[in-house]
Amino acid sequence: MKIYKYIRHKPFSVNYESNYTILELASLFLTTDNESIVILKDKKPIYIITNTDLINYFLQKDSELTVKQIMDKYPKNIILINKDEDIYNAYKRMRSLAIEHLLVIDDDGSFLGEVFQKDLVMMFVEYALKDELTGLNNSRFLETIIQKYNGSNTHIGVIFLDIDDFKHFNDDFGHKIGDDVIKAVADKIRDSIREVDFGFRYGGDEFVIMIFEQNKEVVLKIAQRIFDKISNIKSNYYDKIGVSIGVAMYPDDNKDLKEVIKLADKELYIAKNSGKGKIESVN
């Protein structure tokens, strides 16, 4: 993954020749909502002033000094990185140098933006917990949620969903279309649940959805909503996406959340074996 994809919005920059005073730069911080101001010469970054630097300048009574004077009084080496650098290498570089950000430049040295270590850390965390293809939570995060809620009194409706005849999409239209089908199903799942609920890509063409603190009737309505939205997906390549769904309730159907997921999976296969394109639930 290239670093340019993770550039934070371009921070405010000023030209070296403009020669603002520190007091003037301070006013720019207030109006631009940035954490730093980059000094450019011929569109190339040569210095950076952070909000922490500003505090120091004011404490040292340097607020009337110009940018050029500050650069002479407080020289610093700025750390640049090419836009095509790998994000993991960028992160290692920040860690080894004990810095919080890197300035990203184009091949000609012109300034493109800034990358912050804290943003990369959050991206790594999200990458570890999210399914790359769909953006839903992955099975690793599902295990975390199971550990968190297993044995609790939280009511959770588990919806287990599988795409009917998914192999047909890959075999007849190719794997790219198969991936598009999976992403389209994931989008409908995401559109059908609240922020407090969770959607997971369980693996392949299987999905698990957890609905929190709702009774079975509501969970079944949500399952039907997901089912209907997926059934209405339109494409130039295929007529319809069919799904089968199984539903089980925690702790009503079992006091072990893992077992409830297995029960929902069992109901899913009852739906599959009785003709597909159905919703089944534990009685």
CA distance 233 to 135: 19
| Half-sphere exposure (Cβ direction) of 147: Cα atoms closer than 13 Å | 6
Give the chain's end-to-end CA distance (angstroms, integer).
Answer: 48
Output the six-digit token pair for 242: 């069919």
Answer whether 0.75 is exceeded by the pTM.
Answer: no
C-alpha angle 117-89-76 in degrees, rounded to nearest 5: 60
Structural domains for the chain? 3-123 (3.10.580.10), 132-281 (3.30.70.270)
SS3 percent helix, strand, coil of the chain, rounded to 5, is 45, 25, 30
Using one digit for the tens of pLDDT, what is the confidence trace for 223-280? Answer: 999 999 999 998 888 878 999 999 999 999 999 999 999 999 999 999 999 999 999 9
Could you tell me which residues come within 8 angstroms of residue 26 by beta carbon, excluding any fewer than 6 positions away?
Answer: 54, 58, 63
Write out the chain's pLDDT in tens, 283 residues. Answer: 788 777 866 668 899 998 899 999 888 777 766 778 899 999 999 999 988 899 999 999 999 999 999 999 999 888 899 999 988 888 888 888 888 888 999 999 999 988 888 888 877 777 788 998 999 999 989 999 999 999 999 999 999 999 999 999 998 899 999 999 999 999 999 999 999 999 999 999 999 999 999 999 999 999 999 999 999 998 888 878 999 999 999 999 999 999 999 999 999 999 999 999 999 999 8
Could you tell me which residues come within 8 angstroms of residue 125 by beta carbon, excluding any fewer than 6 positions away?
Answer: none
CA distance 281 to 129: 28
Sheet holding 156-163, edge to edge: 198-203, 206-212, 156-163, 243-250, 279-281
Q: Which residues are catalytic?
A: 205
CA distance 149 to 7: 36
Region of 199 (left: φ > 0; alpha: ψ -120 to 50; beta: rest) is beta
CA distance 16 to 67: 7
The two beta strands, 156-163 and 198-203, are unpaired
Asked whether 233 and 184 are in contact (CB, 8 A), the reply is: yes
CA distance 225 to 228: 5
